[in-house]
Structures are given as structure tokens and as C-alpha cells.
Structure 1
Amino acid sequence: MRRRWDREAAGYDQVFTAAERRMFPGLRRRVCALAEGRTLEIAVGTGLNLEHYPPAVIDGTRPGGFVGVDQSAGMLDVARRRAAGLGLGIDPDADLRRGDAQALDLPDDSFDTVVCTFSLCGIGDDRAALAEMTRVLRPGGLLLLADHVASSVWPLRALQALADVVSVPLAGEHFGRRPMRWVLAQGLAIEEHERTRAGVVEHVAARLPGVRPGADVSR
């Protein structure tokens, strides 16, 4: 999969932004605008989200205030060039780095916001990735997700299930997932949620409970 994304990095923006304009215009901007405090973006890709974060998130006044991770060196090269072109205050080498969403090399409780847009569909173990996202969130932190998911219309879900038979082994692309179920099962508080396009496009803003289960609050 890393080799695949490395190969597709140069032409990714042209292909994906065309689909984005048709399917979910403005959603990327809407989701990223909700980010607050120290922010981690999972599968940052070519950096298409970078220009949509609030200035306070990505102005570079605090080292490591924004971190983007991706498994593909080729995608990160494009993201670093984009960050430089936008004049953002982040350190392209330190703040845009290689990483595995399923096993983040980051400490617990270290980010105020974790963002993942249009990427969980391509991560092998989405539940492991979601668990890692919440692990690195501070209590009270915000999880922001947007993706294509299993449709709310059953004939379309059936077509998605058929598509998965080909797309998963061929390209690692899942059409029948529903991350929202995991978010609800973990007890995160839903602050914003919307499904569009026959339920195929979904975004959610959910907040981690203010105190982790089993935490010592007596100190």
C-alpha cells in the first residue's frame, strides 16, 4: 500500500479534488475549521487539509502544535511542498512525518484534536486506527472524522458490498465501513453529525469524556 500511494502521489490531488467537488464540496473546510489546540492529522496525504485549519492551530508559534502523519513518503513530499507554498509556520520535516495510523509512535493524551478525513476507508484495520486516535487524545479532546461509508439505502449498501470484493484486495479500499458505530460504542459525546448523498458521505465531531475510565482523579 505504501508503494501504491508513493506512485499515485503526483496525480492524487487532480483526481481526488475532482471527485470532492462533485460529492462533498466544502466538507473538508467545515471539518477542519472545528480543530482546536494541539492537533494531529492522521493520513495527512498531500496536505489538502492544511489551508483549512484555523490559524491558531497551524501558525507554528508552538513547536509540534500541529503534527501530520502518513505512511507514504511520496505523499508527504507533496504535503511539505504545499505547506511551504502556503507559508505555514509548521516545520515540514518535523511536523509532517512518516507514521502508521494503526500503531502511532506518539504518547498518550498528547493532542487536543485528532483529524482523519477520507482516509479510514483505506486503512487496513480501521478499529485499531480509531483506538490509536482516541489513545493520543487528551481527556475532553475532539475527534473529527469525514469519509465515505456504508449507505443508509440498502440497495446501495449491497452494491458497496460487491465493490468491496474487488476493491479491498486490489486497492485496500473499503466501501462498507461505518466508523460512527465505533465512536458511539466507545461513549464519545457527539457534537456534530451529518450524512449526505444517500448516507454515503458522513462526518462526525465527537468529544472524548473529560476523565478516562480508571483515571486517578484524587491528585
Structure 2
Amino acid sequence: MADETATARQKRVWDRAAPRYDNQMPLLERIWFAGGREWLGRRAHGRVLEIAVGTGRNLPFYASDVALVGVDLSPAMLAIARERAAGLGRAADLRESDAERLGFADASFDTVVCALSLCSIPDPAAAIAEMKRVLVPGGTLLLVDHVASSWPPVRAAQWLLEQVTVRAAGEHFTRRQLPLVTAAGFQIEEAERRKAGTVERIRARRP
């Protein structure tokens, strides 16, 4: 689809992936992202916005007292997330929205969460700028994602893999979000890399 925008392609890709997503993720999460969702849930507080909420795999890990809003490009992913929220008895406002153009007023949230998604958002810098805009001063940004490895041989393999995944699904393996978060003016409070530096967790504060 030569005239398709990057955002429209991502919506199509994730709508198509939605029925299989929950079957594909558990093994990856155990081996590669273990503990990441729990890490996010322990740090989220107050009015929480989750960007690219997907099928709602983070929902079980949020404290019961957070006021949760989740957005995603994909209606098919959101439909599964709504079913998950209902099954958990979790009140959540789940709506369709583009991470690069969020439909919320400035300073609307105490915490913004984005897990395993900036790797495929077409313009991650624009998405991070929007996350900052909707956070209150002093608000918390929480990110978990796969990033370019700190080991050169692994990074070279990621680059090769990316030649296929970027064309097929907009999925990047050699991005790193920390420089973008810093450039956006956030104060970094926690940053740790795992699995040969291929997974990074970031907690940052809006000044």
C-alpha cells in the first residue's frame, strides 16, 4: 500500500496481530521481559495513562487505587483489553488514540506508562513529547522496551533482523529511548538494562 501512512500501517498490523498476540507473548515475557510488567505496576500511581495498551497485559499489575486510562491505535487490540478488564473487575477507560497526537488536555495524568511499544511507534520522539505534555509537573514516565544491545555482536544481529521487521511491521530493534527521554527534558530517576543490554527500564520525572 504505497500511499499508506506509517500510522495507518501500524493500525493495520496490530489489528491483524490481535487474535494471536496473547498466545505469542507469554514465552517472550518469561525469557526476555521477565518482571517488566510488575516493575511498571509497582511504580504507577494516581491518574495513569497507558500508551499502546494493546490487549491489556499490564492491567493485572496496577494497584487497585489507580485511575486508569489506556489508549491504542488498534480497535481489535482494545476489544481484547476490554474483555480482560471486565474479567479482572478493573475499571479502565480504554479508547482508540494515536500516541503521537493524544486527545487529552495538558497535565492530565500523574503517571504515563508505555511498555514494548516505542519500538514500533513511527515517531517515538513525538510520542515522548506528547507523554510529557499530558503529565503533571513532577509526574512519572515509565518505559519498558527492547533496545539496541550494548554488546556489538548482538547489536549487529538486531540490525540484520530489523531489515525484515521494519518493512514487515514497523518493528525496530536498534532504537534506544533513553536519549529521547533526556532530550525531551525529563529527569532520569531509574535506568537499567538487562539481557545483554537489549531490554531497558526507565523511570523519569517531568520537571
TM-score (norm 2): 0.92
Larger Rg: 1
Amino acid at match of 1:88: R
1:74-99 Cα deviation digits (max 9, x unpaired): 00000000000001133xxxx10000
Runs of 5+ in structure 2 lacking a partner? 1-9
- Equivalent residue number for residue 41 of structure 1: 50
What CA distance in whole angstroms lies between the structure 2 residues aligned with 1:10 and 1:46?
A: 10
Contact kept in structure 1, 2:129 and 2:184, CA below 8 Å: no
Contact kept in structure 2, 1:32 and 1:115, CA below 8 Å: no
Amino acid at match of 2:120: G
139-148 or 31-40, which deviates more: 31-40
- Equivalent residue number for residue 116 of structure 1: 114
Q: Secondary structure at the match of 1:121?
A: coil
- 1:20 paired residue among 12, 22, 29: 29
Does 2:19 align with 1:30? Answer: no
- 1:131 paired residue among 123, 129, 132: 129
- Equivalent residue number for residue 143 of structure 2: 145
Task: Tell me how many residue pairs correspond in the alignment.
Answer: 198
What CA distance in whole angstroms lies between the structure 2 residues aligned with 1:171 and 1:4?
A: 6
Task: Give the deviation of 1:67 after TM superposition.
Answer: 0.7
Contact kept in structure 1, 2:68 and 2:91, CA below 8 Å: no
Contact kept in structure 2, 1:113 and 1:137, CA below 8 Å: yes
Matches within 5 A, 1:38-117: 38-57=47-66, 65-90=67-92, 95-117=93-115
- Equivalent residue number for residue 205 of structure 2: 207
What CA distance in whole angstroms lies between the structure 2 residues aligned with 1:145 and 1:197?
A: 16
Task: Give the deviation of 1:185 after TM superposition.
Answer: 2.2
Q: Segments of 4+ in structure 1 off by > 3 A?
A: none
Task: Give the deviation of 1:18 after TM superposition.
Answer: 1.4
Q: Secondary structure at the match of 1:30?
A: helix
Contact kept in structure 1, 2:139 and 2:206, CA below 8 Å: yes
Q: Secondary structure at the match of 2:122?
A: coil
Q: Secondary structure at the match of 2:119?
A: helix
> Cα RMSD over matched residues?
1.1
111-120 or 24-33, which deviates more: 24-33
Runs of 5+ in structure 1 lacking a partner? 58-64, 210-219
- Equivalent residue number for residue 17 of structure 2: 8
What CA distance in whole angstroms lies between the structure 1 residues aligned with 2:165 and 2:91?
A: 38
Task: Give the deviation of 1:40 after TM superposition.
Answer: 0.3
Aligned-pair identity (%): 56
Task: Give the deviation of 1:187 after TM superposition.
Answer: 3.1
- Equivalent residue number for residue 195 of structure 1: 193
